[in-house]
Chain A
Amino acid sequence: MTALSTRAKLVVATASAVLLGAVAAGYAAVAAEPAPAPTTAAGAAAVTLEPGPRLLTVTDRRVSSVSLSDPSGPRTVSTRECLRVYAAAGTGVCLGPETAWSYQLVVLDAALGATRTFAIPGLPNRARVSASGRMVSWTTFVGGDSYTSSGFSTRTGILDSRGGKPVMSLEHFAVTRDGRAYRSSDVNYWGVTFAADDNLFYATMSTGGKRYLVRGDFAARTVETVKENVECPSLSPDGRRIAFKEAIDADPAKGWRLSVLDLATMRVTATAETASVDDQPAWLDDATLAYTLRQSDGRPDVWAVPADATGAPRLLVPGAESPSPLI
C-alpha cells in the first residue's frame, strides 16, 4: 500500500467526510417531505361519532367519515390525528402521536373531544371499542432491544371506562392452553374484540411459534385457548361468528386469508377476498366485512367483502384505512 503521510491521510479523511456529509445532506434535502397538503373539503359538517349510516376511517392520519350509501363520495375530515381509530355507541378510541417519538391513547366523545388520555408504549397497531362503548382495547408493537436480536413483541391493554386504571398489558392474565395451565416468557397478545356483556373478550395469543384464538374473562383476569391459527378476531354483531385473518398453511410469512369462524360448529369459511389481509376486520352488518388493503407502495384502501364464501371484494373508500361503522 502506498505510504501516505499522516497529513495527507488527514486531508483525504476530511475530504471524504465532507463529501459523504454532502451526499447525506443532499439526499435529505431532496427527500424531505413537503408540508402535508391541506385536506380536501371538510365542508361545514364536522366528524361526529353519533350512530348513523356512516363509516369512520383514517385519511392521511386524520379521522374522517363517509356516508355508507356513497362511501367513495364526499368525505368529512377532522383535525384529530390518529393512526388507528374505532368507535361504537358514540365513544371512540384513537391511537395517535403524543410527541414526535411516542404515542398515546385518546378516548373520544361523540364530538371527537378527549375524555381520557394516556401514553402507550410502542407503535400503534390495533384498537377496538365494545358495542356499548364501555370497554376499550389497544395493541402496540414494541421494538426489540437491538437491531441484531429482532425481538419484536406486542403489548395489548384493556380499559374499562367505568373502572379506574387501565390494564396496560394482558401478560399477567392466567393462561389455560388446551385445558392446562400455561406460562411462558414469549406470550404475546394482539387484536382484542369484546362480547356484548362487556366482560368476555376474544384475542390472539402467540407463544412457541403458534398463534391461538383465546377467550378471555376480563373480571377474572384469565384467558383460555379456543383454536389455533386465528389472528385479529372480530366478533360479529350477532355474537355467533368471528372474522379473522388465517395464516396460509399456518405460516404468516405466506400471508393471510380473510376468513370467518362459526363459533357453534367451529367451521372456518374463507371469504372471496384472495389478497393477503393484514388487518383486524370490522363488521359493517351481520353479512359484510370491511378491512384495509395496501397497494404495493403501502397506500391503504378500505375494501368490503361478504362474510361468507360468496360475492367478490369491492373497493369501499379509496385512500383510507382503519374502518369502523358508526351504525
Chain B
Amino acid sequence: MPFDISLTTLLTQVFTGLVLGMIFVLLAVGLSLIFGLLTVVNFAHGSFFMLGAYFGFFVLGFTKNFWLALLVAPLLVGIFGLLVERFLVRPLYGRSIDDPLLLTFGLSLVLVEAARLIWGKIGLTFDSPPALVGSVNLGFTHFPSYRLFVIALTALVLLALWLFLERSDLGLIIRAGARDPLMVRALGMDLGRIWLLVFGLGSALAGLAGILAAPMYGVYAEMGVSMIIQSFVVVVVGGMGSLTGAVVAGLLIGEVVGLTTLFAPQLAEIVIYLFMAVVLLVRPSGLFGEAGLFE
C-alpha cells in the first residue's frame, strides 16, 4: 500500500518524474512555439522526436562521440523541419486551420513507416556516454548521472531559449509576430522567414528531446507516437501558445506520471488524461492560456 513507501523511494520517483517532465517540456515548448506563431499544430512532432534519436544513433555509430551526436542530431532534425515548413506546410497557409494538422498527421505516418523500413522493426539500444555512466549520490539516494545531466541540460536550453526570445532582436520579432502578424508585416518584417526559422527551431528541440530520451527509453520507430499525444495533453493543460504554460504543465505532468507509477502503476497511462479532463472542467483555457486565444 502507498504508506509503505519510504521517503527515499518517493524522492527518487520525484526525480524520475522530473526527467520525464523535462522531455515533455522540450517537446511542448517546440509545439507551442510553432503553434503560437504559425497556428500550425505539428502532428509530426513526435516523428521528429523519433528522428532525433535515430540520427543521434547513427552519428554516434560513425563518430563514437556522444557530444558530437548531441549537437548534430538536433541540427539535422532542424534542417528537416525547415524543409517540411518550406515545401509542405507553407502551401497550406490561408486555408483552414485543420489542414496543416491533417498534413502533418499524414507525414507522421510516412515517417514512422519509413523508419521501420530503413532501420528495422526491432528497437535499438543507445548507451549513455561513458562520462555519464554510473550514479551520483544525492544524499538520499543514488541517481543515474545521465538523468541528472538531462535535467541540467534541458534547464540550460530553456534558459538560452528564454534569453533568445526576451533579449534578442530576433526574439522580439518572434514575440511580436505571435501577437500581431499583420502589424509586424506592416512594419516591413519578412514574417515568412521568421516562420521558417521558428518551425526549424521547434523541430530541433524535438530532435534534442529524442536523442536525450534515447539512452533512457530506447530507440524504436513508434517512440514518438505516445510522446506526441502526451505532449498534446501538456500543451492543452498549459495553454496553447504559452511557453510558461508548456514548461509548468510539462513538469507537472511528468511528476503526475512519475508519482502515479509509484502508487498505482496500472493507472500511470490513464491519469494524465484524467488530469487533463479536470483542468478542462476547472480552467477551460488551460493553466496559462488566455480565454479566446487561438480559437
Do A and B make up one complex? no
Chain B residues proximal to chain A, CB less than 8 Å: none
Q: Which residues of A contact B (CB under 8 A)?
A: none
